[in-house]
Amino acid sequence: MDYQGLKEKYGTPLYIYNVDVIKENINQYVKDFHSSQFETEIIYASKAFNIKAMLRLLMRYNLSLDVVSLGELYTAKMVSFPMQKIYFHGNNKSLEELIYAVTEGVGTIVIDNAMELEQLHHITEELKKDVHIYIRLNVGVEAHTHKYIVTAHVDSKFGVLYQGKEYLEMLKIIEQSNYIHLEGFHSHIGSQIFDLTPYDAVIKKLVEIVKGFNHPLDINLGGGFGTSYTDADHPIPYHEVAKHLIQTMEDELKNQNVHIHKLCIEPGRSIVAEAGQTLYTIGGIKQTPNKLYYFIDGGMTDNIRPALYQALYKADIVGKEKEFKNKIVTIAGKCCESGDIIIENALLPEAKKDDLLITYSTGAYGYSMSSNYNKALTPAVVFIEDGKEELVVKRQSLTELLEREI
């Protein structure tokens, strides 16, 4: 890849996506996520990376879409993403968001709590519009990941405890409603999961729950499937994940003599993370008594994950990938924060000013969580597909930076 040419055209920092990798990851899920016993649906968790070009790519593969905000939903509308294939998540949807979702005909609203359901009940009665919902359940299964990306412990902000007071209250609201239709249950136990055993426990629990209803319901297992950031990560191939979940569900349905209508999963990170790279230019090089710093022209404004929950990455100096890596380096950003570190203790060759540095597996949450802290400009995004480049997000200009200020 001509990184120098990309820098000259689009500047650095720069998000670069290999679309062929995205397509391969999608195909891995599609290959084995199907069953003769129930319908299946792959729903892309768009919080990982939600731009118009990505949503257009998903439509090429007939995937569905998970959104968590009015902005993500509006983006989907702007590319004419089929509203019936959208699942609207979130633990604190506003009145504006719920009205918008109902008015636009969003396919499924995933309800997080009783207050939200009560609000939706009033909206549907006023608008006289039918709405299909899932209830997000906290089934008490925890994944062993960083505490900020575990979402199913008993005190989580997400979902309701099965058979708890709030859950029973929600069933009463649904029973009283003329327009709200319960289609199934959703559960999501965390992110960066490399052991499928927790999903087995979730499947067993959710099948027990739907068994209590008199018609087949949907089960949505969420996502969280691990991806590779460093050599220490060993994710399960995604087609094996798909095959395992299908087989486990089929076996459990047989064991409990239950039928379901549909099984859903919500991969996000695992589809886009390894497809993305971030390109930087090295500015200063600084040796302190105990550390060697390579300063880059980006940082926590384009990748907050290391500062947020100590996420790990790999990096290379462009053009020196095969040189002897004899320097233990701290790759630091330019923000006015001591915690603005992209990689601690990176093993790299000697670098000089204006060398290009590439970090790998930044396709998930880098662009989505980017900010204008220190008035940094949001980088451009480039897609590379079949060897051809396409600018899909322009680099923010100084004028655009201030355009909303009065």
pLDDT in tens, 330-358: 999 999 999 999 999 999 999 999 999 99
Residues 154, 181 within the same domain: yes
Helix residue ranges per DSSP H, 219-343? 238-256, 269-272, 305-309
Q: Do 246 and 378 lie in a common domain? A: no
Distance CA 182, CA 165 (A): 18
Instruction: Give the pLDDT band (50/70/90) at residue 149.
Output: very low
Domain that holds residue 333: 3-15+274-396
**CA gap 186, 16 in Å, rounded:** 33
**127 phi and psi, to 5 degrees?**
-85, -15
CATH classification at residue 111: 3.20.20.10
CA separation for the pair 76, 269 (Å, rounded): 18
The pLDDT of residue 144 is above 90: no
Q: Is 336 a catalytic residue?
A: yes
Residue 239: what pLDDT? Answer: 96
Give the mean model confidence (pLDDT) for residues 390-404.
Answer: 98
Residue with tokens 């925890």: 142
User: Per-residue pLDDT for 14 more than 70?
Assistant: yes
Is 207 inside any structural domain? yes
Asked if residue 25 belongs to a domain, the reply is no
Residues 134 and 194 grouped into a single domain: yes
- 37 and 67 assigned to the same domain: yes
How remote is the C-alpha of 300 from its chain's centroid?
A: 18
Q: Quick one: 247 and 119 in the same domain?
A: yes
The alpha carbon dihedral of 313, 142, 67, 249 has a sign of positive
The DSSP bridge pattern shows strands 14-18 and 276-287 to be: antiparallel
pTM of the model: 0.94
Report H helices in 128-237.
Answer: 165-176, 197-210
Q: Rounded mean pLDDT of 28-56?
A: 97
Q: 349: which 2 tokens?
A: 């060759």
For residue 146, the model assigns a pLDDT of 39
Does 345 map to a domain?
Answer: yes
**Does 119 lie in the same domain as 199?**
yes
Task: Determine whether 399 is exposed, middle or buried from the number of CB atoms within 10 Å of its CB (0-12, 13-18, 19+).
Answer: exposed
C-alpha 289: how far from its chain's center?
40
Q: Which entry of 336, 386, 387, 406 is annotated as an active-site residue? A: 336
Same-domain pairing of 311 and 226:
no
What is the tens place of the pLDDT at every residue in 47-87?
999 999 999 999 999 999 999 999 999 999 999 999 999 99
By residue count, the chain amounts to 406
Task: Name the average pLDDT for the chain.
Answer: 94
Please indicate, yes or no, whether residues 253 and 303 belong to a single structural domain of this protein. Answer: no
Let me know whether 251 and 315 are in one domain: no
CATH number of residue 354's parent domain: 2.40.37.10
For 140-154, 232-246, 259-273, 288-302, which range has the lowest pLDDT when averaged over its residues?
140-154
Q: Is 205 contained in some domain?
A: yes
Same domain, 206 and 134: yes
